[in-house]
Amino acid sequence: MISSKHRPTMIQIDLEAIRNNVRQLAAQLPEKTKVWAVVKANAYGHGAVAVAKSLVDHVYGFCLSNLDEAIELRQAGIEAQLLVLGVVPLEALDLARRFKIQVTVGSLDWLSQAVSLGKDLSGLALHVKVDTGMGRIGFRQLNEINQAIALMQDQGMIFEGVFTHFATADEADGSYVEQQLTRFQELLNGLIEQPKMVHASNSAATIWHKETIFSAVRLGDAIYGLNPSGRNLEMPYQLCQALSLTSELVHVKQLAAGCSVGYGATYQAAADEWIGTIPIGYADGLTRDMQGFSVLVDGQRCEVVGRVSMDQVTLRLPQPYPLGTKVTLIGQNQDEVISVQDWADYRKTINYEVVCLLSDRIPRSYD
């Protein structure tokens, strides 16, 4: 998708905030723990190439969800370790090998099929994913893991890592994390060979379950300054939200009492009201359920009135503001702040989804 530059709607990313967040998280880790920065899904909407470039000297490597995301970083000149967390299609494995991208083995079946294609996979580095309770990809049986290790060795592949993923690390009750950890430990103890690295902790496990930390951690949400638990658990230290989203008033008019606004004519001005329009809509990730949310104009909260359109939304303004007046949808405007979490709360979802859904149509700028 082409990003819309001739439109005053933009996302500002504070790369220094991301670097500081990584530094702060890393400072709490046992010495020598490696940090994978998770930059899948365009770095949770923050821009994968820019974020990765700004972190190359601060982390061990980057996790992506698919091969194309990893190749994007390689082609941008990033030489750090790259790991694809999802299942790579067998026919794309030579690409992974060519670009020196590490991949996940999610099952013995997948590995056997890869081998039976007869391609040269020597030197390809693999991480064995163990399903200790997520129920998605990953091995559940020790004997299958050991068969996979033997097969990799036989084929000249590199047994680089073993990892698992927690389902409830962002919740107050730690019992399921404990169960998963016990299972993981049992499987690790039975391996016929130890890999170069073992990793289990996402942001939440790293922050609230230090007992899950092995030789590396995989940090996503928290490096962007978001609380992975939403408002469930308190952060032990302050991180800084890196993303802000702004637009400008492109139209301001007074509507007489009783006049309607937007599709469905769902809103009627209660009195003579100033209505401003900003050029952003559900095609940008400001979804229709944001009707009624408030954004910031001149340090004041102004309600989104009427339906959210594809490319425009309308605000009730306390007074007529000039065209070009800045509107802050996420971030600080004078003394007021709107957080990604505020959007998530309003939409009854998680902060992850809010940032991931901000469309590529919105240009990202970096400082």
Ligand X SMILES: *Cc1c(COP(=O)(O)O)cnc(C)c1O
Q: Examine residue 284 and tell whether it contacts ligand X (CB under 6 A).
A: no
Which residues touch 305 (CB under 8 Å, ≥6 apart)?
Answer: 261, 262, 267, 275, 291, 292, 314, 315, 316
Question: CA separation (Å) from 41 to 46, 65, 142, 162?
Answer: 9, 7, 32, 23
Binders of ligand X in range 19-48 (CB under 6 A): 38, 40
Tokens of 73: 């970083």
Q: Examine residue 227 and tell whether it contacts ligand X (CB under 6 A).
A: no
CB of 134 to ligand X, least distance (A): 8
Question: Which one is catalytic: 34, 40, 282, 352?
Answer: 40
Q: Is-catalytic flag, 40? A: yes
Q: What's the start-to-end Cα distance of the chain, in Å? A: 23
Q: Examine residue 212 and tell whether it contacts ligand X (CB under 6 A).
A: no
Tokens of 352: 């992850």
Q: Is the dihedral of CA 148, 153, 155, 158 positive or negative?
A: positive
Q: What Rg, from alpha-carbon coordinates, does the chain have?
A: 24
Q: Is-catalytic flag, 5? A: no
- Which range touches ligand X (CB under 6 A), out of 142-150, 197-205, 229-237, 273-281? 197-205
Give CA–CA dist 287/308, Å, rounded.
7
CB of 42 to ligand X, least distance (A): 13
* Cβ–Cβ < 8 Å for 43, 64: no
Q: Examine residue 67 and tell whether it contacts ligand X (CB under 6 A).
A: no
Neighbours of 306 (CB within 10 A): 23
The one among 19, 34, 165, 364 contacting ligand X by CB under 6 A: 165
Neighbours of 238 (CB within 10 A): 8
- Which range touches ligand X (CB under 6 A), out of 151-159, 185-193, 218-226, 276-284? 218-226
The one among 33, 81, 107, 202 contacting ligand X by CB under 6 A: 202
The one among 46, 97, 209, 218 contacting ligand X by CB under 6 A: 218
Three-state DSSP class for residue 26 = helix
| CB neighbour burial string for 286-298, b if at least 16 within 10 angstroms, e if fewer | bbeebbebbbbbb
The one among 220, 225, 262, 279 contacting ligand X by CB under 6 A: 220
Binders of ligand X in range 68-127 (CB under 6 A): 85
Query: How would DSSP label each residue in 307-324?
Result: ---SS-EEEEESS---TT
* Cβ–Cβ < 8 Å for 317, 290: no
- Which range touches ligand X (CB under 6 A), out of 2-10, 152-160, 217-225, 235-243? 217-225
Element (H, E) at 206: helix 203-208
Nearer to ligand X, 180 or 203 (CB): 203
Q: How many residues bind ligand X (CB under 6 A)?
A: 13
Q: Examine residue 221 and tell whether it contacts ligand X (CB under 6 A).
A: yes
Binders of ligand X in range 121-160 (CB under 6 A): none
Q: Is 157 annotated as a binding residue?
A: no
Nearer to ligand X, 121 or 217 (CB): 217
Binders of ligand X in range 229-248 (CB under 6 A): none
Nearer to ligand X, 290 or 350 (CB): 350
- Which range touches ligand X (CB under 6 A), out of 46-54, 69-77, 215-223, 276-284? 215-223
Instruction: Please give the positions annotated as active site.
Output: 40, 263
Task: Please state the residue numbers annotated as binding site.
Answer: 136, 310
**Which residues in this chain contact ligand X in the complex, by CB under 6 A?**
38, 40, 85, 165, 202-204, 218-222, 228
Annotated binding site for substrate: 136, 310
